[in-house]
Chains A and B, each alone.
Chain A
Amino acid sequence: MSDGIKIFRWRAVGPLLVLFVIACVLWWLFADTIARHESQNVGTQLLGAKVEIQSLHLDLAHGDVTIKGLTIASPHEAFKNLLQADELVADLDMLPLTEKKLVIDRIVANGLRFGTPRETDGRVPAESGQGGIAGRVLAETREWASRFQIPVLQLATGKIGIDSLDPRRLSTIPAADALGARADSSRRAWQTAFDTLRLGPTLDSASATLEQLRRARATDLATINAARQAIDRLKRARDRVTTLERTVKTGVSQLQAGLAGLDSARQRDYAFARSLLKLPSLDAPAIGAAVFGPGAIKPFEQALYYAQLARRYMPPGLLPRAATGPSRARRAGENVRFPKERALPAFLLRSAELSFLLHPTAEQPQRYAGRLTGLTSDPALYGRPTSFTATGPQLAAGALLNHTRSIPADSAGASVGGVQFTAFDIPGVPLRLDPGAATTQFGFNLNGDTIHARFAIRSSNVRWMRDSGFANSAIGNLVWRAVSGISNLDVETRLSGALEHPALAVRSNLDQAIASRLRAELGAQVDAAEKQMRARVDALVNDKVGPVRTRVTEVQTQAQTQVAQQRARIDELQKNLEQRLRQLLGGVRLP
Chain B
Amino acid sequence: MFTLIKLVQSLFGALHSEGTPGQLAAGIVLGSFLGLTPLINFHNAIIFAALVLLNVSFAGGLLGWAVFVPVGFLLDPLFDWIGHQLLFAEPLRSVWTTLYNTPVVPLTNFNNTVVLGSLVFALVFALPLFFATRWAVARYRVTVGERVRQSKWYRTLMASKVYNVYKLFKP
Contact = CB atoms under 8 A, between A and B. Distances in A.
Interface stretch (B111-119, B122-130, B136-144): B111-119
Interface stretch (A73-81, A329-337, A430-438): A329-337
Nearest to B106: A100
Contacts of B98: 340
Contact of B100 (A6, A333, A337): A337
Contacts of A586: none
Interface of B: 18-20, 23, 38, 40, 49, 52-55, 72-73, 76-77, 79-80, 83-84, 87-88, 93, 96-107, 109, 111-115, 117, 168-169, 171
Most chain-B Cβ atoms within 10 A of its Cβ — which of A6, A330, A340, A343?
A: A330
B99 to A, nearest CB: 8
Contacts of A1: 18-20, 23, 55, 171
A99 interface: yes
B113 A99 contact: no
B107 A98 contact: yes
B47 to A, nearest CB: 13
Given A6-B55, A12-B52, A330-B72, A335 B111 contact: yes
B113 A333 contact: yes
Interface of A, helix, strand, loop or mixed by DSSP: loop
B38 A336 contact: no
Contacts of B18: 1
A199 B18 CA distance: 115
Contacts of A28: none
A333 B118 CA distance: 11
A13 B96 CA distance: 34
A16 interface: yes
Nearest to A331: B76
Contact of A9 (B54, B107, B111): B54
Given A16-B49, A325-B113, A334-B84, A7 B54 contact: yes
A335 to B, nearest CB: 5
Interface residues of A, number: 30
A320 B88 CA distance: 8
A15 B52 CA distance: 9
A9 B101 contact: no
A338 B171 CA distance: 43
Contacts of A330: 38, 72-73, 76, 114
A328 interface: yes
A34 to B, nearest CB: 11
15 contacts: A8-B53, A12-B169, A16-B49, A320-B93, A325-B112, A326-B112, A328-B38, A330-B72, A330-B76, A333-B113, A336-B88, A336-B111, A338-B96, A338-B99, A338-B101
Nearest to B72: A330
Interface in A424-466: none
Contacts of A328: 38, 40
B169 to A, nearest CB: 7
Contacts of B83: 333-334
A14 to B, nearest CB: 10
Most chain-A Cβ atoms within 10 A of its Cβ — which of B19, B72, B114?
A: B114
Q: Which 8 A-B pairs have the closest CB atoms?
A: A333-B114, A100-B106, A331-B76, A333-B113, A338-B100, A98-B103, A338-B97, A343-B101
Contacts of B104: 98-99
A23 B154 CA distance: 36
A339 B98 CA distance: 9
A331 B20 contact: no
Contacts of A101: 106
B38 A340 contact: no
A7 B56 CA distance: 8
Contact of A99 (B23, B55, B96, B103): B103
Contact of A325 (B40, B55, B99, B114): B114
A99 to B, nearest CB: 5
A320 B100 CA distance: 11
Contacts of A332: 114
A101 B101 CA distance: 9
A102 to B, nearest CB: 12
Contacts of A343: 101
A338 B98 CA distance: 8
Contacts of A16: 49, 52-53
Contacts of A7: 54-55
Contacts of A338: 93, 96-97, 99-101, 111
Nearest to B56: A9
A331 B111 contact: no
A166 B72 CA distance: 63
B101 A100 contact: no
Contacts of B40: 328
Contacts of A99: 100-106
A529 B104 CA distance: 79
Contacts of B87: 320, 336
